[in-house]
């Protein structure tokens, strides 16, 4: 079996899928040390040492480092509006110390330090004002992550999707996960866990501001227009991937 790379796009349910795939019964030698683009600063031989790589990798930058055709490639998308709301809620609900003390969010040399900027802004701003910020993490971010070229575009992202072996969407994670287990020979868990579900935060999570309201107010016309603009290409890409996912699952069912 080929080694596996999971392109985990932030706030798409990727933590849940990652947990399912790295189930210890699957016996994968998982690379836990490098979960972000910092893997690009490592010797390429690191990719010979493990069976499974999972992280917030960008297709175009990883393709410059290794031959991706030699790997089984997996990714999962989420409705782009839901993804942005999830990101806002994450920043709004966690304490400042959680963000400040997390090296991924607080240290500028880290590849994903701008996550922290987003989350800090979420704590301070209304949802509408948050959307007005010029964060790369907001504007068509899924397109950027999956584009095969550093000149990100919708066409480039579609080509990146077409090069994936498995493309799912959060709406159909159950069928998507079952399909991969069957074809890759993985042990399928009977129940898909809810991990970091925004609406059902565990009461014992000390990083949360318990009194912080994390619901999104009714979206008015201006907010809707801003959202529509910043997720325009992400929405097209998401619908393309959703259609691919449904088509594969329906084809699978028709064989039985």
More confident residue, 145 or 255: 145
Sign, CA torsion 89/143/244/67: negative
Q: What is the pLDDT of residue 11?
A: 92
* Interval 175-184: pLDDT, tens: 999 999 999 9
Nearest to 98 by CA among 125, 122, 128: 122
Q: What is the pLDDT of residue 102?
A: 57
Number of domains comprising the chain: 1
161 neighbors 74 (Cβ within 8 angstroms)? no
At residue 198 the predicted structure's pLDDT band, cuts being 50, 70 and 90, is: very low
Tell me, yes or no, if the pTM score tops 0.85. no
CA 48 centroid distance within chain: 24
Least confident range from 50-64, 83-97, 133-147: namely 83-97
Least confident range from 12-16, 43-47, 119-123, 197-201: namely 197-201
Give the number of other CB atoms < 10 A from CB of residue 229. Answer: 11
Least confident range from 13-22, 28-37, 146-155, 196-205: namely 196-205
How confident is the prediction for the chain on average, in pLDDT? 81
What residues make up the domain containing 33? Answer: 3-254
Distances (CA, A) of 102 to 110, 112, 122, 131, 238: 11, 11, 16, 24, 30
Taking each helix axis as running N to C, give the angle between helix 154-162 and helix 232-254, from 0 to 180 degrees, rounded to the nearest 10: 20
3-class SS letters over the chain: CCEEEEECCCCCCHHHHHHHHCCHHHCCCEECCCCCHHHHHCCHHHHHCCCEEEECCCHHHHHCCCCHHHEEEEEEECCHHHHHHHHHHHHHHECHHHHHHCHHHHCCCCCCHHHHHHHHHHHHCCHHHHHCCCCCCCCCHHHHHHCCCCCCCHHHHHHHHHCCCEEEEHHHHHHHHHHHHHHHCCCCCCCCCCCCCHHHCCCCCCCECCCCCCCCCCCCHHHHHHHHHHCHHHHHHHHHHHHHHHHHHHHHHHCC
For residue 129, the domain's CATH number is: 3.40.50
Least confident range from 97-101, 147-151, 170-174: namely 97-101
At residue 123 the predicted structure's pLDDT band, cuts being 50, 70 and 90, is: confident
Q: What would the mean pLDDT of 90-119 be, rounded to a whole number?
A: 59
* Interval 218-236: pLDDT, tens: 788 899 999 999 999 999 9
């Amino acid at each position: 079996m080929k080694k596996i790379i999971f392109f985990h796009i932030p706030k798409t349910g990727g933590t849940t899928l990652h947990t399912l795939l790295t189930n210890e019964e699957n016996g994968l030698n998982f690379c836990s040390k490098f979960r972000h683009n910092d893997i690009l600063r490592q010797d390429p031989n690191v990719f010979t040492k493990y069976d499974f790589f999972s992280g917030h990798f960008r297709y175009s930058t990883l393709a410059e480092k290794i031959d991706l055709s030699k790997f089984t490639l997996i990714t999962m998308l989420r409705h782009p509006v839901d993804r942005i709301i999830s990101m806002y809620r994450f920043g709004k609900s966690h304490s400042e110390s959680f963000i400040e003390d997390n090296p991924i969010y607080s240290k500028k040399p880290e590849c994903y330090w701008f996550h922290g900027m987003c989350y800090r802004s979420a704590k301070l701003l209304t949802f509408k004002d948050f959307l007005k910020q010029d964060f790369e993490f907001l504007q068509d971010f899924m397109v950027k992550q999956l584009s095969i070229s550093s000149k990100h575009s919708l066409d480039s992202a579609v080509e990146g999707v077409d090069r994936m072996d498995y493309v799912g969407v959060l709406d159909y994670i159950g069928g998507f996960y079952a399909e991969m287990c069957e074809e890759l020979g993985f042990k399928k868990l009977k129940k898909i866990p809810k991990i970091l579900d925004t609406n059902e935060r565990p009461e014992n999570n000390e990083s949360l501001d318990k009194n912080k309201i994390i619901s999104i107010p009714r979206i008015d016309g201006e907010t809707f227009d801003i959202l529509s603009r910043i997720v325009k290409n992400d929405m097209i890409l998401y619908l393309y991937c959703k259609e691919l996912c449904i088509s594969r699952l329906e084809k699978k069912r028709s064989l039985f």
